[in-house]
Structure 1
């Protein structure tokens, strides 16, 4: 008898618990804080107003992103405790609608078995929807064609828009601002650079842009924007709070309405000094910085890796056009350069600016060096011929090369001829002076004259290699 009374009391408590859990809608507010990482994710912090009763309530947030990571959600407000979080999104589609009516009788318009040109309305039970609808009509299973399936209603729980529901417990009834924080995918950014050089390619004007791409389907109005540059690792399932410092850091002072750069841990963060509106899809660009007079160095570089085998006949090798920028204040730069694409424009002889090439760079810090490979030279060619090859032992050999460089331009062309080796190597003889920039490389810095007399420049050397 005592056990029975205890169960009645527990049941009464459960009923009381459920009765006081009411559903309230959180007001949608503008002005989210966005921290977008150049790895395809973003951290969102927003504040929404809600009027809570005392005790338990189900707080429903509408207009949340489809690309939201449910495991990263954090919500807090004064005098409120979050008991559980539920993210719900079941989009309405043909398959999801039919799956909800498996085992139920539906009205189906299908071909008339008597008249091939006629249609009839039949009562049919949906047996399966794995590879397409399978119906039971009377005592028979129907696998044929149909024109229309009539559904009596929209299945419960189906909704086109995602929603977030918090079960909360408030100490006192009243209005509160709930701060909601989560990670989402579908937002990404990269740096895009435009470098316009002079004819000699000795200096140029550099403009850096942040290109923000939104493919999430979620629009943001009057958002405060931060762009984080750097490779930030994130383990699967880790909570969003690990990235919070990017949202709350103070930006350094700078020009109003522009991007302000500041340090963030071992990364860099760019804060836009105005609020922006992002469409649900598309791109938007923001100026990161401009460097109107940057010193650059143009070079022709041809690289070859000497292998340990016999080579027959002449071998052509590319001559690459490269530009080198030193990211220092003395060279006219001195800004952190996030990874991105550099487009280089050079003037022609009649002063038209044409695209000379594109090159992708990694993150370049202040004091670093950006090397841009723009394309293959047209008028300078390199061809090599193996003159001798001898095996000196099981893991050693000696090889002799004759390298021919042709310059069809009317003026001298500077070229860096780079030879790389695997293992220990020693130059036995060489027709030109060379340097050893590292343990596996030999370089010739050559000034190749015009080939007016039809004679190309030749470089010959012999090397012994042990691998």
Structure 2
């Protein structure tokens, strides 16, 4: 078979060209990944002659990776094989056409006023295109001009200049008839990301969550009536340069919509696959959104969090006092019991709450990573306006060496919390504590939330203040 293939190559390379366009398309499936990459499966009915054919597969994605292209014959796979394929991405434009005619003759047509002043006539003159670098240079019979004095008429379009992206495949078919061909390939220029809208209830104890998929086609080729699938997860990718690849992620605006059915979801290897329940069209240079999920009355929790300094300070040469902001967080569980339980692709969750007149107001947003079922989603929405904090080191003393290595220190701190709200709030205070530490005195119970972090829960009365004080002994 290999000997026969090599012997047939000269005939294949000189075979007559057959073109297939979107008019021949019978099915289209697009699987889009998180990283500006998509798998396209384009099925068309094409009439092939018996023997050698050069098939011009038009309207492929402009950012196709030709090395990934695979053509399958679904009708008559026996005695069907591909010898060569070329991706023609040099697209037809006036400038490209002019460049292809360097050294060739063209006709320049210009309008000349009649001697009697009554109208104008067209004058045709042959010229040779000498150059097109930083302008056009034309050689006429008696002169050379550096500007085009009229319009240029070309005798034809060169064979290697295509009107749209085309994969030219040299193949052999064992029969002459219409056959179903499937071309699959990877391409750039297609991307997706998830966006979510959460509406907090008045009491801030539940929220309604809507998920949207933002799809972007940055290419010049449309994908009409495509079966759409999305893969969420972090795929490993060989870092080969991809000519012409464009950055992914055009940010589109989210519009509030009625609740829609969820996209079908299933596990795929170590990723998750989402399938739209209907065909959709991705037009060229378009961003569109489709519904991903909808859930109502999801139990939510609000938390005020004061994060201590990024480091632990202990010293005898001065006391440290600073004002710190209190962060506002909202969290919920991605569980069926909480009316969710669907793996959530990474994206941005934007949170709204209605004001006194019933109008939805934006109250913050945060990024979430891929979140599997039964995991917690935690959002930082901003900093509290009415809850403030002041942190101060009030004491320090060294208790000397302990053994051959290390020493023992004691430090005391106070954290003042103020609440201007008309209802009490509870603030979680996280304090950095290094080494082998022990809280030996505290106004509020301390729990060890991490190896070098203490956690306090402080309730602050309405329009009042609360003072957290503690003394810690540190060995290091």
TM-score range, shorter chain: 0.7 to 0.9
What CA distance in whole angstroms lies between the structure 2 residues aligned with 1:19 and 1:195? 59
Cα distance, 1:298–1:400 mapped onto 2, change above 3 Å: same
Shift of 1:374: 0.7
Alpha-carbon distance between aligned partners in 2 of 1:307 and 1:433, rounded to the nearest angstrom: 20
Correspondence for 1:59? 55
Closer, same or farther: CA 294–15 of 1 in aligned 2, 3 Å: closer
Deviation at 1:459, TM superposition (A): 1.7
For residues 113-142 of structure 1, the C-alpha deviation after alignment (integer angstroms, 9 at most, x for no partner) is xxxxxxxx998985683xx3597999xxx9
Cα distance 1:312–1:135, how it changes in 2: closer, same or farther (>3 A)?
A: farther
Partner of 2:415: 403
Query: Are 1:426 and 2:438 an aligned pair?
Result: yes
> Residue 321 of structure 1: which of 310, 322, 328 is its match?
328
Q: 1:192 to 1:175 in 2, by over 3 A?
A: same
How far off its partner does 1:407 sit?
0.6
2:228 aligned with 1:225, yes or no? Answer: yes
1:284 aligns with 2:288: yes
Q: How does 1:358-373 map to 2 (within 5 A)?
A: 358-373=365-380
Paired residue for 1:341? 348
8 Å Cα contact 1:30-1:223 kept in structure 2: no
> How far apart, in 2, do the equivalents of 1:123 and 1:265 lie?
63
* Cα offset, 1:257, TM superposition: 7.9
Map of 2:456 onto structure 1: 444
Q: State the distance in 2 between where 1:230 and 1:286 align.
A: 19
Counterparts of 2:443 and 2:325 in 1: how far apart (Å)?
22
Structure 2 CA distance for aligned equivalents of residues 122 and 402 of structure 1: 92
Bigger mean CA offset, 295-304 vs 191-200: 191-200
1:295/1:134 CA distance change after superposition, 3 Å: same
Report the alpha carbon displacement of residue 447 of structure 1 after superposing the two structures with TM: 0.8
Q: How does 1:156-171 map to 2 (within 5 A)?
A: 156=158, 157-171=160-174
SS at match of 1:330: helix
Q: Which residue of 1 aligns with 2:45?
A: 49
2 CA distance for matches of 1:15 and 1:460? 86
Aligned residue among 20, 33, 40 for 2:36 = 40
Structure 1 465/137 Cα, relative in aligned 2: closer, same or farther at 3 Å?
farther
* Equivalent residue, structure 2, for 1:268: 272
Structure 1 residues 85 and 287 mapped into 2: Cα distance closer, same or farther (>3 Å)? same
What stretches of structure 2 of length at least 5 have no aligned partner?
Answer: 1-6, 109-124, 242-259
Equivalent position of 2:18 in the other structure: 24
- Matched length: 418
State the distance in 1 between where 2:335 and 2:201 align.
20
Give the Cα–Cα distance (whole angstroms) in 1 for the partners of residues 419 and 9 of structure 2: 92
In structure 2, how many angstroms separate the alpha carbons of the residues matched to 1:148 and 1:386? 83
Tell me the distance in 2 between the aligned counterparts of 1:101 and 1:146.
16
Q: Hey, what's the Cα distance between the residues in 1 that align with 2:353 and 2:211?
A: 17
Q: Paired residue for 2:86?
A: 86
Residue 150 to residue 201, structure 1, CA distance change in 2 (3 Å): same
1:166 and 1:274 mapped to 2: Cα distance? 32
Q: 1:50 to 1:422 in 2, by over 3 A?
A: farther
| Contact residue 63 and residue 162 of structure 1 kept, 8 A | yes
RMSD over aligned CA atoms reads 3.6
TM-score normalised by structure 1 residue count: 0.78
